[in-house]
Amino acid sequence: MSTGHVLLGFLAERPKHGYELKKEHDHRLPGARPLAYGQVYATLQRLERDGQAEVAETRQEGGPERTMYAITEAGRAELTRWLAEIEPPAPYVSSPLFARVVVAGSAADDYLVRQRAAHLARMRELTARRATESPAQALAADYAIQHLDADLRWIESALTRLKEEVDA
């Protein structure tokens, strides 16, 4: 995920300051890692440097000075380009789950059974929360549940394959 593109998307709605962009990111993308304030401001500086965002105004209302940023026409063009771009499927398998099973080999059965239990517990937790959350949070939960489900199918396949290897 490109933080710059996400911030441009939020700025396309209306000018905003960094604190507001950080809060919006963390609220609207609940499954993503929360942004650090430093990352928000560094990204805004890069967007400004690249002509994709500009300072709209600076305010000071009884607290720290707040710089409002707005998207530029170049920023809108970049956002449109990014939104139309197809995300390529990941070319490499880089999962700690996969790595542990490969390293453990035929001794991975115990680990896979415990991992399956952890995945099922997380799915139950996400399913219970999904009904009471915002649409963005429900979408994030659905996304996580689908990935956990794919992992569970792989875990079952791995258990079967490892058993066949031992029996052979």
pLDDT digits (tens, 9 = 90+) for 55-102: 999 887 777 788 999 999 999 999 999 998 887 776 666 678 888 888
pLDDT at residue 134, rounded to an integer: 84
In total, the chain counts a number of residues equal to: 168
pLDDT at residue 64, rounded to an integer: 79
pLDDT at residue 92, rounded to an integer: 63
Listed by start position, the domains of the chain span 3-84, 96-167
Cα(1)–Cα(6) distance, integer angstroms:
8
The fold adopted by the segment(s) 3-84 is: Arc Repressor Mutant, subunit A (1.10.10)
pLDDT at residue 119, rounded to an integer: 94
pLDDT at residue 158, rounded to an integer: 92
Under 8 Å between Cβ of 137 and 83: no
For the entire predicted model, the pTM comes to 0.69
Q: What is the DSSP string of 7-59?
A: HHHHHTTS-EEHHHHHHHHHHH-TTSPPPPHHHHHHHHHHHHHTTSEEEEEEE
Residues of the chain with pLDDT below 50 are none
Cα(47)–Cα(7) distance, integer angstroms:
9
**DSSP state letter for 133:** S
pLDDT at residue 50, rounded to an integer: 97
pLDDT at residue 129, rounded to an integer: 86
Instruction: Residue 115: name the closest of 133, 96, 130 by CA.
Output: 96
